Structure formats: structure tokens, C-alpha cells
């Protein structure tokens, strides 16, 4: 019966099949085109604010931070440059000032300062970039807004004064750990033996770090922290927190990802999980494709709602990405996939930028409410942060000597440095790809 008008017109079955196929193809192409257009319009109106990018690390590794030798519009052997950020409709990017864990107990603070410096230079020497330090400036920027985050608490060398100085240099987020424990917080990774612990995942000093970050208005980033540390922080922080580049543990059971109970706690905190696109975390090591990446978004939305989700691509911190998401120009393909999965434009506007802006504003609001609160003066006990490279300038009667270190005769021995450099060499490659 369905075919009768064609029969009346005298069209053969063969011709009908051809016409059907034409209309089907036309519809498919048109609807695909419409979704593609829709994604680009949406991203023009709501340019992406991405939570994590490691191009600064690559600038150090590949170019020794010599910006004069490269053109940031088009950089080879990396996944991020100005041309591709433009193509990806990126309107804001949190750039990680990251130094390897092997710098802990060594020169992590200097190295981190050098990474903050290169981000400052990158974002001031090119007119397409703009360094921002407030949610208002981020919201109103018409350029590629640069935010600075420190990736790993080892970068402050257990010093709240160092934390405060990083804030003054424009740092607006810090991950409490990278792949190593600090003396005061626990990592999700066990590849290093720094400061082993069975419990006390957030020490008294660790809570002081959280309190001081709340007071300063610096976002607390729980990506890379152990789940126990994350839970302790969620019970301590007055402000919303972020996972700047983590995905869903239920979809890929990697310890860098976030389990459902922690997602629930994050929702209560009104915080944000910015989904990591690295194959290792979305496809558990396989290369994967856009669909498996989108599964993480669907799962987190089902558990805690779209308003708790952002994107933290992790480009240039990881080597392998799903097919179709190889560099920062590919974000529109992800948004197309989510549109195909019936995500609303309002939900995606949130994922792209509004959710992050809301969290940043709330962090600033808590800072404003704490105005008048004095800086935290808690110092880490020497017995908890003892290492041979730490000079202690306290009166002898206040020095607490650990069993292994005589703080009054601090020596950063040649042998010690040799051992550290050997470890650095061994772990260097691993760390570059262990985002």
C-alpha cells in the first residue's frame, strides 16, 4: 500500500528505490549538516573554557621555553597552537604550570616559576591571547583567555607563603597532587615512594592549604588526588572544587577517574568535573573514538546532571587521544556528538563555559566573604617535610629533628643530587605521558 502513488505514476520498483535512497541520503546529509552548523553556532555564542592544557610543558621539553624561536600560531609536534585553538572555538584555557614530581624536595618552586613565566610571556606576546585572573575578565574576554593553574602541590614545597605568591602571580587554581604524594596530601598514583601513608590523606597542614586557597579565591583541583584526599577536601572546603581533567570511573575504571559516590559528593559541593579526553582515561588505554568519550558525558549527566560538567581536554599532557579528537581543533566534533545524543543547547552552553564561570564566581564569592580573615600562618612540622635540601632558619631550640635529617647541618649532597637526577632520567618519559 505504501507504494501505491508510485505505482500510479508508473514508477518501477527500481526507480522507487533510487528515489527513496536519494531522499534518505538528502535527509541524512542535511541533518548532519544542520547538527554541524548548530554546534558551530553554539560554540560561537559560548566559546569553550577548557580546564586543562599542558602546552607549556611541551614548550619546555621541545624548545627550552625559548618563545623567540617558534611561532605560536602553528607549532609542530604539539596538539595546541593559536590556529587550532581558533578552529576549536576555544575562548578560555587553563594552562598548567607543571613540573615533574622528581623535582619534589629539589627545585620544584623555581621550575614552576619558570612555567608561570612562559605562560605569562605566551599570553602577553601574542595579541590573540589575554591573561585573565577574574571570572569577570574571563566572561567578557573576546580573545583566547589564559588562566594559570599549578599542577601538583609539590610546586609550593609545603609553604603557604609560596602558595600566596603564586596567587599574586596570577595563578587561580592548584591541583593538590600530581603523580606523587606531598607531605600533606595523597596522590591517586603509586609510582613514586614520596611520603608513603596508610591513612591521613589530608594532614593538618593539608587542611590549612585548603583553607588558605578558600581565603585567596584559588580553585582547588582534585584531579590526580586520591579518592580519600578528594573526600577529605570536599568535607573541608567552603568553596566549590573542580576536577580539571578527570573522567567517569564507571565507564573506564582508572584511578584517575571519579567514582559515582565521589560524583555525588561533588554535586553537593556544587563543584565541577571537566571531562578528560585522553584515551587512557576515556577508553582505558585503547585509542577509542568520539562515542566512548561522549559516554563519559552521558554517564556523569545521568548521575549528577549536566550542570556539574565541563571539559578538560588534557592536550599536550597525554600522547594518545580518541579518533576524531586528536587536537584542540576537534572540540566541535564532540559537541556535535552530544547534540546527536539529544543534549539540549542550554546543557551544552553550561558544559562549554557557563558551569565553569559559575564555579569560579562562587570561589570568588567565598573569598569575598572571608575578606578580613588573616593569612593562615600554619607551618608544616619539620618532621613531616624533612629532606636534605631544605634549609631551616629557625632558632635551634625550635628545630624538630627528624630521625633521618639533622636540620642544623643541612646538606644537599652531590650524591643525593646524583640519585635524584638518575630517577629523573628514568621517570622523565613516563611522566610526560602520565597525565
Positions marked catalytic: 52, 54, 151, 178, 224, 245, 314
Quick count: other Cβ atoms within 10 Å of Cβ 287?
12
Q: How many CB atoms lie within 10 A of CB 141?
A: 18
Q: How many CA atoms, within 13 angstroms, populate the side-chain half-sphere of residue 387?
A: 18
Q: Which is nearer to Zn ion, 300 or 435 (CB)?
A: 435
What single-letter DSSP state applies at residue 375? Answer: P
Nearest C-alpha neighbor of 378 from the set 216, 231, 160: 160
In the three-class reduction of DSSP (H, G, I as helix; E, B as strand; rest coil), residue 275 is classed as: strand
Nearer to Zn ion, 43 or 272 (CB): 272
- CA gap 51, 234 in Å, rounded: 19
- Which stretches of the chain bind Zn ion, using CB under 5 A? 435
- Rounded distance, CA 126 to CA 95, Å? 15
- Residue 328 or 435: the one with the smaller Cβ distance to Zn ion is 435
136 by DSSP, 3-state: which? Answer: helix
Q: φ, ψ for residue 245 (rounded to 5)?
A: -160, 75
Of the pair 135, 247, the CB lying nearest Zn ion is at 247
Name residue 275's beta-bridge partners. 311
C-alpha distances (whole Å) from 267 to each of 124, 187, 329 are 36, 22, 30
State CA 119 to chain mean position distance.
Answer: 15
- Residue 49 CB, nearest distance to Zn ion (Å)? 17
The owner of cell 589575554 is 130
Closest contact distance (angstroms) between CB of 343 and Zn ion is 26
Phi-psi region at 217: left, alpha or beta (left = phi > 0; alpha = psi -120 to 50): left
Q: How far is the CB of 104 from Zn ion (least distance, A)?
A: 15
- Give me the least distance between CB of 75 and Zn ion, in Å please: 20
CA atoms within 13 A on the CB side of 393: 0
Nearer to Zn ion, 247 or 355 (CB): 247
Query: How far apart are CB 151 and Zn ion at their closest, in Å?
Result: 6
Nearer to Zn ion, 83 or 189 (CB): 189
Minimum Å distance from CB 186 to Zn ion? 16
Q: What is the largest CA-CA distance in the chain?
A: 106
Cβ 164 to Zn ion shortest distance, Å: 24
Name the residue with cell 531522499.
23
CB burial class (10 A; 0-12, 13-18, 19+) of residue 162?
middle
- Please identify the residue of the shown chain whose CB is closest to the bound Zn ion: 435
- Cβ 331 vs Cβ 312: under 8 Å: no
Nearer to Zn ion, 160 or 266 (CB): 266
Q: Which is nearer to Zn ion, 57 or 266 (CB)?
A: 57
- Compute the least distance from the CB of residue 276 to Zn ion, in Å: 8
Cα separation, 146 vs 67, whole angstroms: 16
Residue found under cell 559560548? 46
Which triple of cell numbers denotes residue 374?
588573616
Amino acid at each position: 500500500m505504501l507504494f501505491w502513488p508510485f505505482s500510479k505514476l508508473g514508477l518501477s520498483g527500481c526507480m522507487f528505490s533510487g528515489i527513496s535512497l536519494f531522499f534518505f541520503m538528502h535527509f541524512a546529509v542535511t541533518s548532519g549538516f544542520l547538527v554541524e552548523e548548530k554546534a558551530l553556532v553554539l560554540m560561537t555564542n559560548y566559546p569553550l573554557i577548557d580546564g586543562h592544557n599542558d602546552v607549556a610543558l611541551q614548550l619546555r621539553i621541545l624548545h627550552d621555553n625559548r618563545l623567540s624561536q617558534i611561532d605560536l600560531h602553528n607549532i609542530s609536534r604539539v596538539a595546541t597552537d593559536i590556529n587550532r585553538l581558533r578552529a576549536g572555538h576555544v575562548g578560555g584555557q587553563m594552562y598548567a604550570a607543571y613540573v615533574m614530581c622528581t623535582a619534589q624536595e629539589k627545585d620544584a618552586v623555581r621550575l614552576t616559576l619558570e612555567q608561570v613565566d612562559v605562560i605569562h610571556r605566551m599570553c602577553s606576546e601574542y595579541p590573540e591571547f589575554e591573561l585573565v585572573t577574574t571570572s569577570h575578565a574571563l566572561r567578557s574576554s573576546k580573545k583566547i583567555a589564559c588562566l594559570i593553574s599549578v599542577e601538583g602541590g609539590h610546586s609550593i614545597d609545603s609553604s603557604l607563603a609560596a602558595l600566596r605568591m603564586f596567587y599574586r602571580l596570577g595563578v587561580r587554581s592548584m591541583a593538590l597532587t600530581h603523580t606523587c604524594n606531598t607531605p600533606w596530601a595523597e596522590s591517586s598514583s603509586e609510582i613514586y615512594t614520596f611520603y608513603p601513608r596508610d591513612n591521613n590523606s589530608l594532614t593538618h597542614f593539608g587542611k590549612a592549604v585548603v583553607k588558605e586557597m578558600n581565603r585567596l579565591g584559588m580553585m582547588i583541583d582534585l584531579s590526580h588526588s586520591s579518592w580519600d584526599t578528594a573526600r577529605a577536601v570536599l568535607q573541608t572546603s567552603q568553596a566549590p572544587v573542580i576536577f580539571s581533567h578527570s573522567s567517569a570511573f564507571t565507564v573506564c575504571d582508572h584511578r584517575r577517574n571519579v567514582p559515582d559516590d565521589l560524583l555525588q559528593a561533588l554535586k553537593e559541593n556544587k563543584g565541577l568535573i571537566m571531562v578528560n579526553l585522553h584515551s587512557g582515561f576515556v577508553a582505558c588505554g585503547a585509542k577509542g573514538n568520539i562515542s566512548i568519550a561522549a559516554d563519559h558525558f552521558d554517564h556523569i549527566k545521568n548521575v549528577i546532571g549536566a550542570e556539574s560538567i565541563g571539559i578538560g581536554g588534557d592536550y599536550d599532557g597525554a600522547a594518545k587521544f580518541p579518533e576524531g579528537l586528536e587536537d584542540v581543533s576537534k572540540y566541535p566534533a564532540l559537541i556535535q556528538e552530544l547534540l546527536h545524543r539529544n543534549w539540549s543547547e542550554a546543557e551544552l552552553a553550561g558544559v562549554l563555559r557557563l558551569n565553569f564561570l559559575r564555579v569560579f564566581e562562587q570561589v570568588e564569592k567565598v573569598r569575598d566573604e572571608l575578606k578580613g580573615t588573616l593569612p593562615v600562618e600554619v607551618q608544616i612540622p619539620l618532621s613531616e617535610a624533612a629532606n636534605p635540601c631544605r634549609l631551616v632558619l629557625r632558632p635551634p631550640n625550635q628545630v624538630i629533628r627528624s630521625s633521618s635529617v639533622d636540620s642544623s647541618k643541612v646538606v644537599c649532597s652531590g650524591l643525593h643530587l646524583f640519585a635524584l637526577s638518575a630517577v629523573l632520567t628514568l621517570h622523565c618519559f613516563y611522566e610526560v605521558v602520565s597525565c
